[in-house]
A and B are shown apart, each in its own frame.
Chain A
Amino acid sequence: MQALFRNPIVEPGLIGTSSGAAFGAAICFVLGAQFQWDLGNWILPSFACIGAVISTFLVLILSRSNETGASSIQRLLLTGIAVNALFMSGVGFLSYIARDPQARSITFWNLGTMAGANWPAVWVVGTSTTICLLVAMRYAKELNALMMGENEAAFLGIHIQQLKFKILLINVILVAVATAYVGVIAFIGLIVPHLLRVFLGSDNRKLLLNSAILGGIILNLADLAARLFLKPAELPIGIVSAVVGVPIFIMLLRHKNFQF
Chain B
Amino acid sequence: MIRCEHIQFKIGKKILLDDIDCSFESGKLNLIIGPNGAGKSTLIKILSRQLQPQKGSVFFDEKNLLQFSAQELAKIRAVLSQNIDLAFPMQVREVVMMGRYPHFSGKPQKQDHQACSEAMELFGVTPFADRNYLSLSGGEKQRVQFARVFAQIWYKEAGQRYILLDEPLTFLDIKFQYLFLKEIKRIVQNENLLAIGVLHELNFAAQFADDLLLLHEGKIMAKGMPSAVLTEENILQTFGLRMKCQTTENGLILSFVGI
Which of B33-41, B81-89, B173-181, B204-212 lies at the interface with chain A? B81-89
Contact B90 A147 (CB under 8 A): yes
Given contacts A144-B98, A259-B134, contact A152 B81 (CB under 8 A): yes
Q: A148-B86, A157-B101, A202-B89 are in contact. List 19 more A-B contacts (CB 8 A).
A: A141-B101, A141-B105, A144-B90, A144-B98, A144-B101, A145-B98, A147-B90, A148-B95, A151-B81, A154-B70, A155-B77, A155-B78, A156-B152, A157-B71, A157-B73, A157-B74, A201-B91, A201-B94, A260-B134
Q: Which of A145, A157, A260 is B88 in contact with, Cβ under 8 Å? A: A260
| Cα–Cα, bound, A218→B48 (Å) | 46
Which residues in window 141-193 of A have CB below 8 A to B? 141-142, 144-145, 147-149, 151-152, 154-159
Contact A3 B88 (CB under 8 A): yes
Q: Which of A6, A151, A156, A159 is B87 in contact with, Cβ under 8 Å? A: A6
| Cα–Cα, bound, A151→B132 (Å) | 22
Min distance, Cβ B71 to any Cβ of chain A, angstroms:
4
Asked whether any CB of chain A lies closer than 8 Å to the CB of B114, the reply is no
**20 A-B contacts (beta carbon < 8 Å):** A2-B87, A144-B90, A144-B94, A144-B98, A145-B101, A148-B85, A148-B86, A148-B95, A152-B84, A155-B77, A157-B71, A157-B72, A157-B75, A157-B102, A158-B70, A197-B89, A201-B94, A202-B88, A259-B134, A260-B88
Could you say which residues of chain A place their CB within 8 Å of the CB of B95? 148
Tally of A-B residue pairs with Cβ under 8 A? 80
Could you say which residues of chain B place their CB within 8 Å of the CB of A202? 86, 88-90
Contact A155 B79 (CB under 8 A): yes
Could you say which residues of chain B place their CB within 8 Å of the CB of A156? 74, 98-99, 101-102, 152
| Cα–Cα, bound, A206→B94 (Å) | 12
Could you say which residues of chain A place their CB within 8 Å of the CB of B69? 157
| Cα–Cα, bound, A197→B86 (Å) | 14
Asked whether any CB of chain B lies closer than 8 Å to the CB of A8, the reply is yes
Chain A residue nearest to B97 in the complex (CB): A144
Chain B residue nearest to A193 in the complex (CB): B88
Could you say which residues of chain B place their CB within 8 Å of the CB of A6? 87-88
Asked whether any CB of chain B lies closer than 8 Å to the CB of A7, the reply is yes
Asked whether any CB of chain A lies closer than 8 Å to the CB of B50, the reply is yes
Asked whether any CB of chain A lies closer than 8 Å to the CB of B189, the reply is no
| Cα–Cα, bound, A260→B132 (Å) | 11
| Cα–Cα, bound, A157→B74 (Å) | 5
Asked whether any CB of chain B lies closer than 8 Å to the CB of A203, the reply is yes
Chain B residue nearest to A155 in the complex (CB): B79
Asked whether any CB of chain A lies closer than 8 Å to the CB of B237, the reply is no
Could you say which residues of chain B place their CB within 8 Å of the CB of A259? 89, 132, 134-135
Min distance, Cβ A236 to any Cβ of chain B, angstroms:
32
Min distance, Cβ A250 to any Cβ of chain B, angstroms:
19
Q: Which of A8, A145, A157, A201 is B70 in contact with, Cβ under 8 Å? A: A157
Could you say which residues of chain B place their CB within 8 Å of the CB of A142? 101
Min distance, Cβ A182 to any Cβ of chain B, angstroms:
28
**A-B CB proximity, top 10 nearest:** A157-B74, A6-B87, A202-B88, A155-B79, A157-B71, A157-B102, A157-B70, A147-B86, A147-B87, A202-B90
Contact A148 B71 (CB under 8 A): no
